[in-house]
Structure 1
Amino acid sequence: MTSVLFDFSDPRSVALWNPINDRVMGGVSHSQLRNDPAGHALFCGHVSFENNGGFASVRCQPGDFGKKEVIAYLLEVCGDGKRYKLNLRTDEGFDGVVYQVGFIPPTGQWATCRLASADFLPSWRGRPVPDAAPLDTSCVRQIGLMIADRQAGPFGLAVRSIATESA
């Protein structure tokens, strides 16, 4: 069963998302999630290594995004050749453990990227947290998109929707 968490054909859906970039540690990267008149959202900006930077992200406002028995997260996206991450947080805090999985969507064409729940790995400030519990999808409170991994320069990921797939 599929359940849509975010349908970005509604221009108001991007209002729930805020940038969190390397500026929190002195960097100069920038990003935003904005509505595209073509009927989707665009996660875009510029990643810079200046001042020890190197990442850009957006995160939705905390809410109840938890679903039991989620086997995968489905992103309908159109890529630019870069690698992105889907971030999930199981609390409402700004900092702490985040569960991440990377994906590279096809360049210039729409596709659904299926990210298995079991593939999300816990990290804190970019470092693995091996003793953290596995992702409990029923506790998800925040969802985010990120670009990092030494990918400097402009980027743009078009997003139509984010959904869950349950058993």
Structure 2
Amino acid sequence: MTPVLFDFSDPGSAALWSPINDGVMGGVSQSRLRHDTAGHAVFAGHVSFENNGGFASVRCRPGDLGRKDVVAYLLQVLGDGKRYKLNLRTDDGFDGVNYQAGFHPPAGSWASCRIASADFLPTWRGKPVADAPPLDTARVRQIGLMIADRQEGPFRLAVRSIAVEVA
């Protein structure tokens, strides 16, 4: 079974997401998630190292996104050759423990990226949190997309959907 959490063919889905860029730490990177009339969302912007910056992200509003027995998160994406992260939060807060896993979609063609639930690692502001519990997929409240890891310049990731694979 693969329940869809976000179907970006619906223009309203992208409206539930907001940017959270390195400006929270003084940087000047920019991003946003917008609906494309071709029937998907686009996470795009520019990552800058100015003022000790270096990341751009978007995150959905808190909601009931948790599912028991999730073995993987499935993204239908069109990449630009850059590496991205899927971020999961188990609370409604702005800051705190964030579970991250990377994915690297091919450039120029639609692809399905499967990220195993076990691959999500607890972090806080990009640093590992050794004493945090493993991800509890039943408690997921927020989902986000991020670009970081010293990838300066413009980026563009098209997203058709985010779904879960349930055991």
Residue equivalent to 2:93: 93
How far does residue 159 in structure 1 lie from its aligned partner after superposition? 0.1
Distance 2:106 2:8 in 1: 19
Aligned identity (percent) is: 78
How far does residue 24 in structure 1 lie from its aligned partner after superposition? 0.3
How far does residue 130 in structure 1 lie from its aligned partner after superposition? 1.2
Distance 1:13 1:129 in 2: 31
Matched, 1:146 2:150: no
Distance 2:36 2:151 in 1: 23
How far does residue 37 in structure 1 lie from its aligned partner after superposition? 1.1
Residue equivalent to 2:78: 78
Deviations 1:110-155 (A, max 9, x none): 0110000000000000100011100000000000000000000000
Structure 1: give runs of 5+ residues left out of the alignment. Answer: none
**SS where residue 2 of structure 1 aligns?**
coil
Structure 2: give runs of 5+ residues left out of the alignment. Answer: none
**SS where residue 15 of structure 2 aligns?**
helix
How far does residue 62 in structure 1 lie from its aligned partner after superposition? 0.2
Residue equivalent to 1:62: 62
**SS where residue 33 of structure 1 aligns?**
strand
- The residue type equivalent to 2:128 in the other structure is P
Deviations 1:92-125 (A, max 9, x none): 0000000000000011100110000000000000
How far does residue 34 in structure 1 lie from its aligned partner after superposition? 0.3
Residue equivalent to 1:159: 159
Distance 1:77 1:116 in 2: 16
- The residue type equivalent to 1:52 in the other structure is N
**SS where residue 157 of structure 1 aligns?**
strand
Distance 1:59 1:150 in 2: 20
Distance 2:138 2:164 in 1: 11
Matched, 1:35 2:35: yes
Residue equivalent to 2:136: 136
How far does residue 85 in structure 1 lie from its aligned partner after superposition? 0.1
C-alpha RMSD over aligned residues: 0.4
Distance 2:134 2:143 in 1: 16
Distance 2:12 2:125 in 1: 30
Distance 1:107 1:25 in 2: 30
